[in-house]
Structure 1
Amino acid sequence: MLPRTDACPLNDLSGYRRVLLPAEGKYIYQSRSGHPVTCAAAFLQQCVIDNVMETKVNALDMGCGNGIISIMLALQRPHWHIRGIDLQPELVELAAFNARQCAVPTQFDVFDLRQPPYPGASFDLIVSNPPWIKMDAGIVSPG
C-alpha cells in the first residue's frame, strides 16, 4: 500500500493531461502514455447510478487505473464506501492524487487480481472498466 500524502506524486505534470469530469469543475489527471479515457467510463458510471439505488454501498473498482470510475461514483454517491485496486503502484498513486483533487474519500490500494483483495471483506458492487485493446495489438498486461 502506498502512503497517502497531500503532495503531488507527479514531479512533472507535462506527462499528464487533465480530463474534465461531468461534475462541475472537477477533473482528474491521466498519463499521456496511458490508455485514454473514453465514453465507456461515463457510460459504466451512469449505468451503475441508474441501477443501484441503495444509499449505502460497499463497492470495489477492479483495475481502477487513474480512478475515474471510483471518483465519478463517489461524486454522485458520497455515502458509498468505494475502494479501487490496481496492479500498478504508479496508477494507484495517481488515482489517490485524483481523489484528493476531487475531494472524495475513495481508498486506493495496490493488489494483484490473482489474489483475493481484502480477505474477509464483502462487496455489494464490483465494477471494472478495463482498457479495450484489439487481440492482436501486441500489448501485454503488466505482471
Structure 2
Amino acid sequence: MQTLYVAKATSTGSGRQGHVRSDDDVLDHELSMPKELGGAGGPGTNPEQLFAAGYAACFHSALRLVTRREKVRVRDSSVRAEVGIGPDGDGFGLAVTLVVDLPDVERDAAEKLVAAAHQVCPYSNATRGNVDVELRVTEH
C-alpha cells in the first residue's frame, strides 16, 4: 500500500477518562467513560463514539464512490454507525451495525451498493475478520 495521508492523535491523562488531540489541533476532546462501562458519564466523548464517527464518514464516502462508479443518482443519503463494546474472552471486543439510508434507491439495488461499499471502505477492510459488522439498509 502506498500511504497517501497519515492521521496523528495523542491520548493523555488516563485513557478513557483523559484527553485526545490531533497533531493539527482540529480534534481536541476530553474523554468520559460511559456509565454503562462503569464510569461516571460526563460531557466528554469516548473511543467508541470517535470510532463510530470515523466509520460512518468513511463508509459513506465509500458508498458515494460506489454509487458514482455505478452511475446511480443518490440524494440525501446517510450512514449511521452503531459501535458496541463488551467482554470478549479475556479482553473486550467491538460489534458494529452500519445503518444506511438511500431514500431514492430501490431496496435490492441499495443492498448491492452497500455490499460493494463494504468491500471498498478502509474501515471495513481493517475490521474484516476481527469485528462483527452488520449491514442494514433502511426501509422506505
Q: What TM-score do the two structures reach when normalised by structure 2? A: 0.28
Bigger relative CO (Cα 8 Å, ≥ 6 apart): 1
* Richer in strand (by share): 2
* Richer in helix (by share): 2
